Structure 1
């Protein structure tokens, strides 16, 4: 398991929601998440220049007051008014994260990073803060996972 500790600045995300989930590779690989990725990507491709269609896609897990999470399948925007009308907006504050990338232990890159999170948490190498958690998809085989931690 390898990870780095990073500080991510505040960011604005907008997209479509999958409510009441538990962040894991099973959710990330679910048919509903894939469906939402396709819809968000189609909308982006329909109205964007070719350079914009190469932007990374995000899944931002946002904790609710009841302790569940909502998964927002989205793109990042500089300003909220740049987001498509009707999308759900989330502003993630600046925070400290453990950054995980696939290390090759699993064939599936998203299962790989989530397994590393489970190992790091179980061995007490990191203490999860249970705030926003962010997957960044650079393409179908390249993923980064940022887990909010207590410094």
Structure 2
């Protein structure tokens, strides 16, 4: 599916690579709680990779631009591109593991070719997760 460019504003977690372990980490859960305390139900996590420093995650919310950011938040732009969409429901024992396992299986079976950049997770308060994996 093609997604058009959008911004993700929030708090930066340096050194956090995409995957189930990152999504369940204590730091991620703590940061999600800080974002939800602002009244945001759907937390958006944008994973970005800089060749010089590695992966980082911006944990927050969709935004239209820097004017939407509270003081102290950062923003990344997810580019217009093609993404594979993976989802689960709240009935899964571990929604984060389920959705990331789907990605790994799809890649292993050759159904997707990941670009390894601009991956986005939307995590609802009940644990349901939508994952958008940028394709080459």
Fold agreement, TM-score > 0.5: yes
Structure whose residues are more often strand by fraction: 1
Quote the residue 2:6 is aligned against.
11
SS at match of 2:116: strand
Given candidates 27, 45, 60, the residue that maps to 1:74 is: 60
Structure 1 CA distance for aligned equivalents of residues 110 and 8 of structure 2: 30
Given candidates 121, 127, 135, the residue that maps to 1:135 is: 121
Distance 1:142 1:65, change over 3 A: same
Structure 2 residue ranges without an equivalent (≥5):
none
- C-alpha deviations, 1:6-29, integer Å up to 9, x for none? 111111111111111221100000
Structure 1 vs Structure 2 CA RMSD: 1.9
TM-score by length of 1: 0.83
Q: Is the 8 A contact 2:47 2:119 kept in 1?
A: yes
Quote the residue 1:58 is aligned against.
44
Structure 1 segments of 4+ aligned residues over 6 angstroms from their partners: none
- Structure 1 residue 89: deviation in Å? 1.0
Quote the residue 1:119 is aligned against.
105
- C-alpha deviations, 1:89-130, integer Å up to 9, x for none? 111111110000127995211110100100011111100011
Matching of residue 36 in structure 1 with residue 31 in structure 2: yes
Q: Which moved more, 1:136-145 or 1:110-119?
A: 136-145
TM-score by length of 2: 0.91
Structure 2 CA distance for aligned equivalents of residues 123 and 105 of structure 1: 25
SS at match of 1:110: helix
Q: Is the 8 A contact 1:105 1:112 kept in 2?
A: no
